[in-house]
Amino acid sequence: MTAQFVAKISGYCAEQNLCYLAVHCHGGTDKVCFSTDDIASHERGYPALLDITRGGPVGALVFAKNAVAGDIWTSSGRFQLHHMTIIGSHIRQLYPSPEAKVCATNPMYDRHARLFGDVGQEIFANLKVGIIGLGGGGSLINEWLSRLGVGHIVAIDFDRVDLTNLPRIVGATHRDAMTWLIKQSIPWLQKLGKQLATHKVHVARRVAKQANPSICYDAVVGNIVDEAIARLLVDADFLFLAADSMQSRLVFNALVHQYLIPGVQIGAKVSVNKQTKQISDIFTTTRPVLPYANGGCLHCHELIPAGRLQQEALSEKEQRTQRYVEDEDIAQPSVITLNVKSAEQAVNDFMMMFTGLYPAEFQLCHQFRFARERSIINVEPRANNDCLDCSNISRSRRARGDRSRLPCRMSSLARLIPVRASFFQ
Ligand SMILES: [Zn+2]
Ligand SMILES: [Zn+2]
């Protein structure tokens, strides 16, 4: 590459807030490394490119068949690429050379290993997975991921368990809901009960630790709409969105595309006929979102309408709307067996994607399941060429990582302080 070419491209990267990565190929299979000439040219050129691109990262990737090595320069230092993740219906990782043999799996996972091998189990053990919303659907996902052997879960919810949650939240007890206080006739005792009830994320942590005592668990009492909370997920391997507010959809969709993290959104709805007041449809949704055009972007599917976003922002009741979308014609009953329908498909998608059980290039459509008809409908993928999340236009956040801002509100300091454990923990 001529100096002129490098100058032109790095200037473009600076202008567009992009990273500069030079990619080339060496021969061979399963193993690759830079030549001494490659390294010498990086050391000559990259300090200057870091300046030109205002902090980069800049760097180089070299491929062989089934392997990749990388030399990445950032303003805080120089790093060797550990692995690269390829996102799609089969999520897989490439390394500079074959990873050391995995150690024999815990015999507890014998039946898992018969499906996806010790390697599959090892993959789960090394994943960091975010769950946004630990209500009915999220609590199921939490239990299943823990039993699946996922090594690290970040659970985010600001809410506490209340009496009406008990039929749905896995592991929640009357003690968590402070039922004995809530049922007192004296208002201040009821209020005290609500204040002392366990946070949903702490119930979830308890359930996860029971399933897998060695799990690394971050129980975060907070709102994904706050930047400091959303940033806890930028290095996650997968995201589950089980909180149904438009603002949480907005941040989730941004995280997926800006940081290239595959995810899935779940929900359950019961729609009521306005005239007859009769229940018309009972349906659940499972919406995989992969960070590329036609990957299921929630914006392109018109699932984050601007009007609804504004409504939420104005109402100053975000804390409530994160749980329930208020809509004139949609009442919000909630039953554990319906939550299972959307959550089950989401966690199976996750499991199949990471263990290679889906064929490559398999289209993971958004799915509706109509409970009364026992039918499943797949939604055709959609992509707008000018989408600000999933397209490649210069204003799009796609793949920009830390070089773009998440659509969050600024955090107040109070929300950054780790929240004290709740009363009975
Ligand atoms: Zn080379
Ligand atoms: Zn889009």
Ligand 1 mean position, distance from CA 23 (Å): 9
| 299 alpha carbon, closest ligand | 2
State the pLDDT at residue 23: 96
* CA dist., res. 262 & res. 239, Å (int): 7
Ligand nearest to the CA of 301: 2
CA 230 / ligand 2 centre spacing (Å): 20
Tell me how far the alpha carbon of residue 298 lies from the centroid of ligand 2, in angstroms.
7
Predicted model pTM:
0.91
Give the pLDDT of residue 176: 95
Q: Residue 317's pLDDT is what?
A: 55
Asked whether the predicted pLDDT for residue 422 surpasses 90, the reply is no
* pLDDT band with cut points at 50, 70 and 90 for residue 167: very high
Which of 109-113, 315-319, 353-357, 375-379 is predicted with the least confidence, judged by mean pLDDT? 315-319
> Right CATH number for 107-159+199-416 from 3.40.50.10470, 1.20.1530.20, 3.40.50.720, 3.40.50.2300?
3.40.50.720
Phi, psi of 43 (to 5 degrees): -65, -30
Domain boundaries in the chain?
3-81, 107-159+199-416
Among 334, 325, 275, 336, smallest CA distance to 303 is for: 325
Per the CB < 8 A criterion, the answer to whether 251 and 188 are in contact is no
Q: How confident is the model at residue 178 (pLDDT cuts 50, 70, 90)?
A: very high
Residue 290 alpha carbon to ligand 2 centre in Å? 10
| 317-349 pLDDT per residue, tens | 554 555 554 444 444 788 999 999 999 999 999
Q: How far is the CA of 261 from the centre of ligand 1 (A)?
A: 29
* Cα 364 to middle of ligand 2, angstroms: 15
Q: Please tell me the distance between residue 77's alpha carbon and the centre of ligand 1 in angstroms.
A: 22
Concatenating the DSSP letter of every residue in 177-224 gives HTHHHHTSSSHHHHHHHHHHSPBHHHHHHHHHHHH-TT-EEEEE-S-T
Q: Letter for the amino acid at 353?
A: M
Task: Tell me, in angstroms, the distance from the centre of ligand 2 to residue 253's CA.
Answer: 9
Distance 39 CA to ligand 1 centre (A): 9
Q: Which two tokens stand for residue 352?
A: 């199949």
Instruction: Please give the backbone phi and psi of residue 306, each rounded to the nearest 5 degrees, phi first.
Output: -60, -40
Instruction: Kindly give the distance from the C-alpha atom of residue 299 to the centroid of ligand 2, in angstroms, as a whole number.
Output: 5
pLDDT tens across 8-64, in order? 999 999 988 889 999 999 989 999 999 999 999 999 999 999 999 888 899 999 999
Phi, psi of 73 (to 5 degrees): -110, 130
For the chain, give the percent of residues with pLDDT over 70: 91
pLDDT, residue 321, reads 55
* Look-up of token digits 């975000």: 318
The whole-number pLDDT of residue 61 equals 97
Q: In terms of Cα–Cα distance, which of 286, 283, 296 is closest to 344?
A: 286
Please give the pLDDT value at position 388: 96
> Which one of the ligands is nearest to 300 CA?
2
CA of 388 to the centre of ligand 2 (A): 7
Q: Which residues of 276-310 are buried (b: 16+ CB within 10 A; e: fewer)?
A: eeeeeebbbbbbbbbbbbebbbbbbbebbeeebbe
Q: How far is the CA of 23 from the centre of ligand 2 (A)?
A: 27
Q: How far away, in angstroms, is 57 Cα from ligand 1 center?
A: 20
Q: Which ligand is nearest to the CA of 32?
A: 1
pLDDT score recorded for residue 333: 82
Question: What is the DSSP pairing of strand 58-65 with strand 20-29?
Answer: parallel
Interatomic CA distance for residues 283 and 253, integer angstroms:
22
pLDDT band at 274 (very low <50, low <70, confident <90, very high): confident
pLDDT at 124 over 60: yes
Mean pLDDT of 169-198: 93
> According to the model, what pLDDT value does residue 320 have?
57
Output the pLDDT for position 311: 81
CA 34 to ligand 1 centroid distance, Å: 5
The rounded Å distance from CA 29 to ligand 1 centre is 15
pLDDT at 423: 34
Average pLDDT over residues 234-245: 95
Q: What is the pLDDT of residues 63-108, one digit of tens each?
A: 999 999 999 999 999 999 999 999 999 999 999 998 777 667 788 9
Q: How far is the CA of 291 from the centre of ligand 1 (A)?
A: 29
Tell me the mean pLDDT in the region 204-213: 97
Tokens coding 172: 């929640």
Q: Among 98-107, 139-148, 293-302, 304-313, which is the least confidently predicted range?
A: 98-107
Distance 377 CA to ligand 1 centre (A): 48
pLDDT at residue 253 above 60? Answer: yes
**Mean pLDDT of the 363-368 span:** 96
Determine the average pLDDT of the residues in 362-369: 96
Whole-number average pLDDT of the chain: 90
- pLDDT tops 50 at residue 425: no
Interval between CA 111 and ligand 2 midpoint (Å): 39
Most confident of 188-197, 273-282, 316-325, 340-349: 340-349
C-alpha–C-alpha distance, residues 190 and 247, integer Å: 30
Which ligand has an atom closest to residue 1 CA?
A: 1
Write out pLDDT tens, residues 373-392: 999 999 999 999 999 999 99
**What's the gap in Å between 13 CA and the centre of ligand 1?**
22
pLDDT the model gives residue 411:
54
Nearest C-alpha neighbor of 400 from the set 256, 236, 288: 256
